[in-house]
Amino acid sequence: MRGDDRWAGGDGGRGTPFEDVEDVAGLGPLPDGLQPEVRDFVRALRGLFKATGKSLRQFAAYHHVSPPSVSRYLSGKRLPDKNFIDALLKSACKAHGVDISPDVQAYAYRLHREALLAQQPGRYRLQMASDKLEEAILAREQAELQIRDLTLSVSDQKRELNRLERQQREIARSAAEERGRTAAQIEVYRGRQRDLEAQCHELRGEIDRLEAELEQAERDRDDARARCAELERKLASTEEDAEREELEERVAEVRREMADASQTAQGRLVELQRAAREAERLRDQATREAQAKLEHADAVVEEVRAKAAQAAADYETNLNKRREQAERDLAARQARAEQRLAEMEDRAEQLRLEAERLQKNAADREWRPIKPLYVPPRTT
């Protein structure tokens, strides 16, 4: 994958998958009014974030950063510190299986410093002082390591020199004790002695050189310590200035937010007032409509009441008429029943008389008795 040339130093973009981007899925567009240095830095951050392949919440959870802070960093609302940049670089390089190259790191750091200088000079001075202190601490540690190595080398060289000097003394003593040896043997002893003297001389020179380097390393260490102390004092002063500047920036940001909130609240107030007026108008209209409907309902109720009263009166009249008619019908039915009963009684009387007459006639003719006819009982 070919990346942005600016991320790769002088290799033409080969070997790096990173590029500066502005539009990233899950992130809103960059706000207008960002300073050019800040916009360039945020575009670089977005390119690294895109290369991680993580969502905002996944990245925040993995690196123990709050999601709102990550959102503010990637939108240019607030500039992060170097730790956040290092986390982005580490995650992006790990996602693509590449190492963090010095060129990539230097490019991200440079954009960060330029953005700080443009937007927060106090934090820029603090960052530069912190970088210098970090370099001084590294130099001091290197000097201390060098001192330790030189001390060990001097000690080793001195032990070697002592060993050679002991050998030289032993050779001189042996040569003094054996004066009866031949001139050739004496010459061998002298050659060995000259070689040892040369080695001792060389070792002394090496020891002197190492001791000089050790003294220089100790001076460098002391200078580094003094520089660290001075840089720590400057850093403390710069931190106070940066904190004051950041506080002022936050105050300004809060004031801007308060102004925006006030403007929004004012707009909402206007909308609420307009809504209140509309609600009052609707309430008046509803009241008038309700009053009209109530008056109409009262008229309908009165009309229904009148109709109900008329219906009740008509019902009472009809009921009386029906009662009177029923009474007349009952009287007529009773009269007819009484008339029918009288007719039946007359008929029964006639039948009885006829039966008596027939019985009498039969007796007169001396006929055998016959079973009298059935005579229904007299009804009273």
Torsion of CA 43, 49, 50, 55, to 10 degrees: -130
Q: What is the pLDDT of residue 45?
A: 92
- Is pLDDT larger for residue 198 or for residue 377? 198
The pLDDT tens digits of the residues spanning 40-77 come to 999 999 999 999 989 988 999 988 889 889 998 998 88
Q: Does residue 211 contact residue 158 with C-beta atoms inside 8 Å?
A: no
Q: What is the pLDDT of residue 91?
A: 92
Residue 15 makes CB contacts below 8 A (sequence gap 6+) with: 8, 98, 101
Residue 95 has pLDDT above 80, yes or no: yes
Q: Which residue has the tokens 């390591």?
A: 145
The pLDDT tens digits of the residues spanning 342-374 come to 888 888 889 989 888 888 888 777 545 555 555
Q: In 3D, which of 41, 50, 59, 39 has the Cα closest to residue 17?
A: 50
The pLDDT tens digits of the residues spanning 186-225 come to 566 667 667 767 777 776 777 777 677 767 766 766 776 6
- Is pLDDT larger for residue 187 or for residue 256? 256
Q: What are the tokens at 292?
A: 């009209």
pTM: 0.44
Neighbours of 146 (CB within 10 A): 17
| Burial class, 181, CB count within 10 angstroms (exposed 0-12 / middle 13-18 / buried 19+) | middle
Type of residue found at 260: D
Q: Does residue 46 contact residue 74 with C-beta atoms inside 8 Å?
A: yes
Residue 12 has pLDDT above 50, yes or no: no
Distance CA 35, CA 41 (A): 10
Q: Does residue 69 contact residue 81 with C-beta atoms inside 8 Å?
A: no
Give the distance, in angstroms, between the CA of residue 244 and the centroid of all CA atoms in the same chain.
30
Residue 183: CA count within 13 A, CB half-sphere:
0
- Is pLDDT larger for residue 19 or for residue 236? 19
Q: What are the tokens at 362?
A: 């039969």
Q: What is the pLDDT of residue 176?
A: 62
Lowest mean pLDDT across 179-188, 217-226, 292-301, 303-312: 179-188
Give the ranges where the chain is alpha helix by DSSP (H).
36-52, 56-62, 67-75, 82-96, 102-119, 121-177, 183-364
- DSSP code, position 379: P
Q: In 3D, which of 175, 55, 183, 48 has the Cα closest to residue 104?
A: 48
Mean per-residue pLDDT, 160-179:
70
- Is pLDDT larger for residue 357 or for residue 120? 357
Give the distance, in angstroms, between the CA of residue 145 and the centroid of all CA atoms in the same chain.
48
Neighbours of 92 (CB within 10 A): 24
